């Protein structure tokens, strides 16, 4: 059976990763896996800078338009989608290009995740009682559930933000489903690394040019209707959905609440995106030990040669 080769293209936002992947895909006989925390959502096209319908029709993409806006995204979802994508790649004799700015999820894919605590649920005799006693706590305000997590596992709680509702709930659920504190559970159940090699390529671009690209994209988003997109999400799903924590949409929420004007909106989105790009570059530089650098000035043929030589 055909064994897909996997490469990942990472880099700061607006560095041209997606465009490069679209160029490389037919040359490498590849499909594309989008590792992006917004593109995975339906109804969020502008804020995510999602590939156009034409681009999606040219190359098969995975992990785009999968979740409803009210659903939460996390690393486990991407790992499951990646495994499904690889099965399709095997059947179609295609390789796979992973591309996206959310390198944290790529790191999680490489290092792996611990087993699902739900698998331990039936083996814990205290589950039912604990579930009944703690269920209401999961529906309480964030500060209360953070305090509950702090009581369960001080070490774990101090490593996360009191506003990180996903990890707070996950920590409490681990305790309910396994009878162990999160720290004990993760110590006893270490993550399983991803089972296939992934060659990582980092697309580099001068910071000045990157900032210009961010300004241009931000202006294009405003002109394309990101405000209306955010307004529709707010009307249908409310302000507490996970996407409203993302750059672009969270600033639009301020605008829709009358807290800022349109000029400040565009400026804020651009500023926050530039700050994100800086964090992405730092993360990519420090979190991946085996990585090949690609300069943005290289031709597609030069990049293709580099990739083939490494593979």
Annotated binding residues for substrate, as ranges?
13-18
Strand partners, 201: 9, 292
> Which residue shows structure tokens 């969270």?
250
Alpha-carbon distance of 171 to 175, in angstroms, equals 7
Backbone angles phi, psi at 28, to 5 degrees: -105, 10
Backbone angles phi, psi at 158, to 5 degrees: -70, -10
> Which residue shows structure tokens 């949409």?
249
Among 199, 242, 204, smallest CA distance to 14 is for: 204
Helix axes 142-152, 165-178, angle to 10 degrees: 40
Q: Are 123 and 115 in contact (CB under 8 A)?
A: no
Binding-site residues from annotation? 11-18
Q: Which residue pairs from 171-175 have beta carbons closer than 8 angstroms and sit at least 24 positions apart in sequence?
A: 172/134, 172/137, 172/138, 172/145, 172/148, 173/117, 173/138, 174/117, 175/130, 175/134
**Residue 238 Ramachandran class (φ > 0 left, ψ -120 to 50 alpha, else beta):** left
Helix axes 127-138, 165-178, angle to 10 degrees: 160
Binding-site residues from annotation for ATP? 11-18
State whether residue 63 is helix, strand or coil: coil
Helix axes 226-237, 207-224, angle to 10 degrees: 60
Alpha-carbon distance of 226 to 90, in angstroms, equals 38
């Amino acid at each position: 059976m055909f064994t897909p080769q996997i490469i990942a293209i990472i880099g700061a936002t607006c560095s041209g990763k997606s465009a490069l992947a679209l160029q490389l895909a037919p040359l490498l006989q590849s499909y594309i896996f989008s590792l992006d925390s917004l593109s995975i959502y339906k109804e969020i096209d502008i804020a995510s800078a999602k590939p156009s319908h034409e681009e999606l029709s040219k190359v098969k993409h995975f992990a785009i338009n999968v979740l409803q806006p009210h659903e939460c995204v996390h690393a486990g979802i991407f790992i499951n989608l990646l495994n499904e994508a690889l099965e399709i790649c095997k059947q179609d004799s295609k390789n796979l290009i992973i591309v996206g700015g959310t390198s944290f999820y790529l790191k999680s894919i490489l290092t792996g995740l611990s087993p699902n605590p739900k698998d331990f649920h039936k083996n814990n005799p205290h589950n039912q009682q604990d579930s009944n006693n703690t269920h209401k706590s999961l529906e309480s305000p964030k500060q209360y559930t953070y305090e509950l997590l702090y009581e369960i596992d001080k070490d774990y709680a101090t490593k996360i933000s009191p506003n990180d509702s996903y990890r707070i709930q996950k920590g409490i659920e681990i305790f309910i489903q396994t009878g162990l504190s999160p720290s004990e559970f993760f110590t006893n159940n270490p993550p399983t690394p991803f089972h296939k090699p992934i060659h990582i390529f980092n697309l580099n671009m001068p910071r000045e040019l990157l900032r210009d690209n961010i300004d241009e994209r931000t202006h294009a988003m405003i002109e394309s209707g990101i405000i209306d997109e955010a307004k529709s999400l707010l009307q249908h799903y409310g302000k507490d959905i996970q996407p409203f924590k993302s750059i672009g949409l969270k600033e639009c929420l301020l605008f829709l609440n009358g807290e800022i004007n349109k000029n400040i909106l565009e400026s804020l989105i651009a500023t926050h995106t530039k700050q994100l790009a800086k964090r992405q570059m730092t993360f990519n530089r420090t979190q991946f030990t085996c990585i090949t650098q690609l300069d943005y000035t290289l031709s597609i043929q030069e990049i293709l040669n580099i990739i083939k030589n490494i593979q």
